[in-house]
A and B are shown apart, each in its own frame.
Chain A
Amino acid sequence: MKTLVWVEHDNAVVKDATLHTVTAAAKLGEVHLLVAGAGCAAVAEAAAKIAGVAKVHLADDAAYGHALAENVAPLIVDLMGHHDAFLAPATTTGKNLAPRVAALLDVMQVSDILSVEGEKTFTRPIYAGNAIATVESTDAKLVITVRTTAFEKAACEGGSAAVEAISGGGDAGLSSFVGAEIATSERPELTSAKIIVSGGRALKDAETFEATILPLADKLGAAVGASRAAVDAGYVPNDYQVGQTGKIVAPEVYIAIGISGAIQHLAGMKDSKTIIAINKDEDAPIFQVADIGLVADLYNAVPELTGKL
Chain B
Amino acid sequence: MKILVPVKRVIDYNVKPRVKADGTGVDLANVKMSMNPFDEIAVEEALRLKEAGSAEEVIAVSVGPAKAAETLRTALAMGADRAILVETDETVEPLAVAKILKAIMAEENPGLVVLGKQAIDDDSNQTGQMLAALTGRPQGTFASKVVVEGEAVAVTREVDGGLETVKLTLPAIVTTDLRLNEPRYASLPNIMKAKKKPLDTKTPADYGVDIAPRLKTLKVAEPPMRSAGIKVPDVDTLVAKLKEMGVA
Contact = CB atoms under 8 A, between A and B. Distances in A.
Interface string B147-175: 00000001001111111111111000000
B17 A127 contact: yes
B14 to A, nearest CB: 8
Interface in B194-248: 213-223, 226-227, 229-232, 234-236, 238-239, 241-242, 245, 247-248
B98 interface: yes
A27 interface: no
Contacts of A107: 95, 214
Contacts of A100: 129-130, 132-133, 139
Contacts, number: 242
B164 A180 contact: yes
Interface string A94-109: 0111111111101111
B159 A93 contact: yes
- The range of chain B's interface size is 35 or more
Nearest to A143: B126
Contact of B169 (A127, A175, A305): A175
Contacts of A168: none
Nearest to B133: A103
Interface string B8-25: 000101001101000000
Interface string A109-131: 11110000000010001111111
Given A136-B218, A178-B167, A239 B13 contact: no
A2 B196 CA distance: 55
Contacts of B220: 126, 131-134
A167 B179 CA distance: 37
Nearest to B139: A69
Interface residues of A, number: 86
B120 A305 contact: no
Contacts of B216: 135-138
A18 to B, nearest CB: 13
B231 A131 contact: no
Contacts of A245: 117-118, 177-178
A253 interface: yes
Contact of B219 (A111, A133, A274, A275): A133
A179 B164 contact: yes
Nearest to A138: B214
A13 interface: no
B106 to A, nearest CB: 16
A127 B126 contact: no
B223 A125 contact: yes
Nearest to A282: B231
Given A96-B142, A270-B226, A293-B229, A103 B217 contact: no
B183 interface: no
A133 B19 CA distance: 10
A245 B132 CA distance: 22
Contacts of B98: 103
B33 to A, nearest CB: 13
B223 to A, nearest CB: 5
B162 A182 contact: yes
B162 A287 contact: no
Interface stretch (A38-46, A79-87, A294-302): A294-302
A308 B236 contact: yes
Interface centre among A103, A129, A176, A181, by most B CB within 10 Å?
A103
B245 A102 contact: no
A128 B221 contact: no
Interface in B93-121: 93-95, 98, 117-118, 120-121
A112 B122 CA distance: 11
Contacts of B157: 92
Given A107-B95, A178-B154, A292 B230 contact: yes
B190 interface: no
Interface in A123-160: 125-139
B241 A292 contact: yes
Nearest to B223: A132
Nearest to B164: A180
Given A133-B220, A139-B214, A309-B239, A275 B19 contact: no
17 contacts: A100-B132, A103-B95, A108-B94, A108-B95, A127-B17, A127-B120, A131-B221, A138-B214, A173-B169, A175-B139, A175-B168, A182-B162, A238-B144, A239-B162, A291-B226, A292-B229, A305-B235
* Top 3 closest pairs, chain A to chain B, by CB: A99-B129, A103-B133, A103-B130
Given A177-B164, A293-B232, 12 more contacts: A98-B129, A103-B129, A103-B134, A109-B94, A109-B126, A125-B223, A126-B26, A131-B221, A138-B215, A174-B136, A289-B226, A308-B236
